Amino acid sequence: MHFELEAILSFSGELNKAGEQILETINEANLDILKRGVPRGVDGGATVIDHDIDGSTLKIKIVSDRYVRAHDAVIRLKKKFSEDMGKKYKIGVRDVKIKSYTIRLNLDREPKDKIEVPYVKKLDVEGKKCTVLLEELTEEQLSKNFVDRIINRIKEKIDAQYYQGKEELWNLIWYSGRKDILWDKDPTEEMAKRGWIKQGPTKGKWFYRPQAAKILRCMEEIAYKEVLEPLEFQEVIESFMVPFDVWQDTGHMEGVPNEVYYVCEPITRDPYEWEELIDHIKISKDVPQEKLRELVTPPKFGICYAQCPLIYWSLKNQTIAEDSLPVLLYDRSVPSARYESGGRHGIERVDEFHRIEPVYIGTKEQLLELKDKLIERYTYVFEEILQLEWRIAKVAPFYMQQAGTDSEDEEEVLGTIDFEAYMPYRGGREDSKWLEFQNLSVFRKYTKAFNIKSQKEELYSGCSGIGLERWTAAFLAQKGIQPDKWPERFKEICGDLPKGLNLL
Ligand code: ATP
Ligand code: ZN
Ligand code: MG
């Protein structure tokens, strides 16, 4: 890597008389502080190769290599100038501005397409050699590590060009074998015809009338009685609004900002301030969007996307006593919202859904054991109660397959497995897409991100998303919606469906 940086240092006083001192500081720095960190015997580090005094500003040009990057060098220089100039002339450095910053680096692979990244004025690529020109970075941005992150982002975008359009890694782990399939209808359409559900009130949402509500609650009951209770999970109740800093820690904010439903707050509760809006609503019988926008903040939270982030947040910086390990918690109080856009379908891919999410934290051994127990309990439910045709697959999003992520240790533990059901209405077993109705993960990133510790060993964590709509869709897609044809065990647990309403 090669760095070339032009910076402007603004001092608190005139520099005309301080020319000699400035030269001396630069010469000393070139020999000492700008070489710190360079391995013995290597000729490297940062060097100020040019400077120019103009009134109270000093322009400098620094070249460097990877041992002392020029943006770190300029911060070291600022400190030295303040010390040296402070003593003799009682003036210090007020501000550092980066005029231009050129970074030359070697890439692992050539980009396939044009790349744009914020703060990058120009990006030239020749084969694997890349020249990045950055402009107008502030001192604060330099010390907050913007440069490394900009470079990482460039590399990430190149990697993304290579895996675009490729399939996720998918490996079959287990298959239930063929089961009795009672029909090939789309359960959502059939329930809607019978008035068990009603679409709306907005896109990707459903109103579950008594019959459908009962089925979803039965699924919940089964998950509780057959999985969570026997494994001694404890219930928590969390907020359904998640502030952005929690999602920064989990990575959701950069991972899925395009799927989040955002929440605004009123800027004031004073009725007087809202009076005009109310007038308009009363007169026009409509909500004037522009006026409303003036009365609410930009979004500060999102609606729950998955329940686990707030469970991890609740344990942030905590040390967990040995006798509380493994931590076994679940939330079923909060619905999840996701903007699925064109992917929406029926009750199985909706913008608002109901999940139970068990979350577990423990040592690697504890979680490996728990994983097996969870799979055993789930298998009992899907085989004996719901009698589904289903399978387990190990999946890895493509980015996890890239070298250099810490997915390697995560993979070793488990990563993620998906539970998928055959959906007869979509076509044949071989050529139709099966429905992921649930997943299960074990990894290390969240205990790291939230600094959750035990007194002895390093902790891992994981979660499993039990989607009630998806359990219901899978079951009804295979077993139909005539309750007398359902498997005996399910009928026993569910009992009779409510009569519902006769709407004329
Ligand atoms: P998909 O690939 O189907 O979008 P996902 O990988 O986004 O699923 P996860 O974030 O792993 O899903 O969520 C775990 C579980 O939450 C899923 O197995 C499923 O049961 C449920 N789920 C996720 N998205 C939806 C949705 N849009 N509608 C209904 N249930 C959902
Ligand atoms: Zn989760
Ligand atoms: Mg999804």
Please write the tens of the pLDDT for every residue from 290-312: 999 999 999 999 999 999 999 99
- What the block records as the tokens of 17 is 């008389």
Instruction: Tell me the pLDDT tens digit for each residue of 25-50.
Output: 999 999 999 999 999 989 999 999 99
Task: Answer yes or no: is the C-beta of 434 below 6 A from any ligand 1 atom.
Answer: no
Q: Is 194 a catalytic residue?
A: no
What amino acid occupies position 144? K
Q: Give the whole-number percent of the chain exceeding pLDDT 90.
A: 87
- Range(s) within the chain of domains with CATH label 3.30.930.10: 166-264+299-494
Task: Answer yes or no: is the C-beta of 110 below 6 A from any ligand 1 atom.
Answer: no
Atom of ligand 1 nearest to the CA of 344: 27
* Catalytic entry in 332, 338, 355, 444: 338
d(CA 401, CA 202): 38
DSSP assignment, residue 138? B
Q: Is 384 a catalytic residue?
A: no
Q: Is 265 a catalytic residue?
A: no
Quick one: pLDDT at residue 204? 92
- What the block records as the tokens of 181 is 């399939």
pLDDT band, residue 83 (cuts 50/70/90): very high
Q: Say if residues 493 and 222 touch (Cβ distance below 8 Å).
A: yes
Q: Is 494 a catalytic residue?
A: no
Q: Is the confidence at residue 407, as pLDDT, over 70?
A: no
Task: Answer yes or no: is the C-beta of 437 below 6 A from any ligand 1 atom.
Answer: yes
Quick one: pLDDT at residue 397? 62
pLDDT band, residue 279 (cuts 50/70/90): very high
Rounded mean pLDDT, 108-113 = 91
The b/e string for 263-274 (b: 16+ C-beta within 10 A; e otherwise) is beeeeeeeeeeb
Task: Answer yes or no: is the C-beta of 436 below 6 A from any ligand 1 atom.
Answer: yes
Task: Answer yes or no: is the C-beta of 441 below 6 A from any ligand 1 atom.
Answer: no
**H helices within 42-186, ranges in order?**
70-89, 139-143, 146-163
d(CA 34, CA 64): 9
d(CA 124, CA 130): 6
| Residue in the structure block whose two tokens are 């918690």 | 329
Kindly report the protein residue whose alpha carbon is nearest to atom 8 of ligand 1: 436
d(CA 15, CA 332): 67
d(CA 132, CA 345): 44
Question: Which residue out of 470, 471, 475 has the highest number of ligand 1 atoms within 8 Å of its CB and is therefore the one to mutate?
Answer: 470
d(CA 309, CA 461): 12
Task: Answer yes or no: is the C-beta of 467 below 6 A from any ligand 1 atom.
Answer: yes
Task: Answer yes or no: is the C-beta of 340 below 6 A from any ligand 1 atom.
Answer: yes
Q: Are strands 234-236 and 327-331 parallel, antiparallel or unpaired?
A: parallel
Q: Is 436 a catalytic residue?
A: yes
Q: Is 340 a catalytic residue?
A: yes
Question: Helix 468-479 crosses helix 210-223 at what angle (to 10 degrees)?
Answer: 110
Q: Is this model's pTM higher than 0.85 or not?
A: yes
Q: Say if residues 89 and 20 touch (Cβ distance below 8 Å).
A: no
Three-state DSSP at 183 gives coil
Range in 85-94, 169-178, 273-282, 390-399 the model is least confident about: 390-399
Question: Helix 19-31 crosses helix 70-89 at what angle (to 10 degrees)?
Answer: 140
Q: How far is the CA of 307 from the centre of ligand 2 (A)?
A: 6
Rounded mean pLDDT, 466-475 = 98
Three-state DSSP at 242 gives strand
Max distance between CA atoms of the chain, in angstroms, equals 98
Question: Which residue out of 219, 348, 355, 382 has the highest number of ligand 1 atoms within 8 Å of its CB and is therefore the one to mutate?
Answer: 355
Architecture in CATH for domain 2-161: 2-Layer Sandwich (3.30)
Higher pLDDT, 400 or 416: 416
Task: Answer yes or no: is the C-beta of 259 below 6 A from any ligand 1 atom.
Answer: no
Helix then strand count (H, E) for the chain reads 16, 23
Instruction: Tell me the pLDDT tens digit for each residue of 115-155.
Output: 999 999 999 999 899 999 998 888 899 889 899 999 999 99
Q: Which helix (H) or strand (E) holds 197?
A: strand 197-199
Q: Say if residues 216 and 335 touch (Cβ distance below 8 Å).
A: no
* Catalytic entry in 69, 355, 444, 470: 470
d(CA 131, CA 154): 11
| Domain 166-264+299-494 homologous superfamily, CATH | Bira Bifunctional Protein; Domain 2 (3.30.930.10)
Q: Is 145 a catalytic residue?
A: no
In sequence order, which residues have a C-beta less than 8 Å from that of residue 324 and are 6 or more positions away? none
* Rg (alpha carbons) of the chain, rounded to whole number: 30
Kindly report the protein residue whose alpha carbon is nearest to atom 2 of ligand 1: 436
Quick one: pLDDT at residue 413? 67
Q: How far is the CA of 20 from the centre of ligand 3 (A)?
A: 64
Q: Say if residues 392 and 436 touch (Cβ distance below 8 Å).
A: no
Atom of ligand 1 nearest to the CA of 353: 29
CA-to-CA dists, residue 289 to 1, 277, 286, 293, 389, angstroms:
51, 10, 9, 6, 48
- Range(s) within the chain of domains with CATH label 3.30.70.1920: 2-161
d(CA 8, CA 57): 7
Q: Is 418 a catalytic residue?
A: yes
Ligand nearest to the CA of 463: 2
Q: How far is the CA of 502 from the centre of ligand 1 (A)?
A: 33
Q: What are phi and psi of 237, to 5 degrees?
A: -125, 120
Q: Is 69 a catalytic residue?
A: no
Q: Say if residues 49 and 63 touch (Cβ distance below 8 Å).
A: yes
Q: What are phi and psi of 498, to 5 degrees?
A: -65, 160
Atom of ligand 1 nearest to the CA of 436: 18
Three-state DSSP at 268 gives coil
Kindly report the protein residue whose alpha carbon is nearest to atom 4 of ligand 1: 349
pLDDT band, residue 408 (cuts 50/70/90): very low
Quick one: pLDDT at residue 470? 98
Q: Give the whole-number percent of the chain exceeding pLDDT 70.
A: 96
pLDDT band, residue 403 (cuts 50/70/90): very low
Q: Is 322 a catalytic residue?
A: no
Task: Give the closest residue to 268 by CA, choosing from 302, 287, 294, 241.
Answer: 294
* Catalytic entry in 84, 226, 340, 383: 340
Instruction: Tell me the pLDDT tens digit for each residue of 489-498.
Output: 999 999 999 9
Task: Give the closest residue to 397 by CA, choosing from 387, 407, 409.
Answer: 407
* Catalytic entry in 439, 444, 469, 494: 439
Q: What is the dihedral of CA 303, 307, 311, 316, to 10 degrees?
A: -60
Instruction: Tell me the pLDDT tens digit for each residue of 433-450.
Output: 999 999 999 988 899 999
Q: Is the confidence at residue 390, as pLDDT, over 70?
A: yes
Three-state DSSP at 117 gives coil
Kindly report the protein residue whose alpha carbon is nearest to atom 20 of ligand 1: 467
Three-state DSSP at 454 gives strand
| Residue in the structure block whose two tokens are 């609004």 | 241
Q: How far is the CA of 465 from the centre of ligand 2 (A)?
A: 6
* Catalytic entry in 218, 304, 463, 494: 463
DSSP assignment, residue 447? H
> Edge to edge, what strands does the sheet with 355-362 contain?
169-175, 390-396, 415-421, 435-443, 460-467, 355-362, 327-331, 234-236
Quick one: pLDDT at residue 398? 55
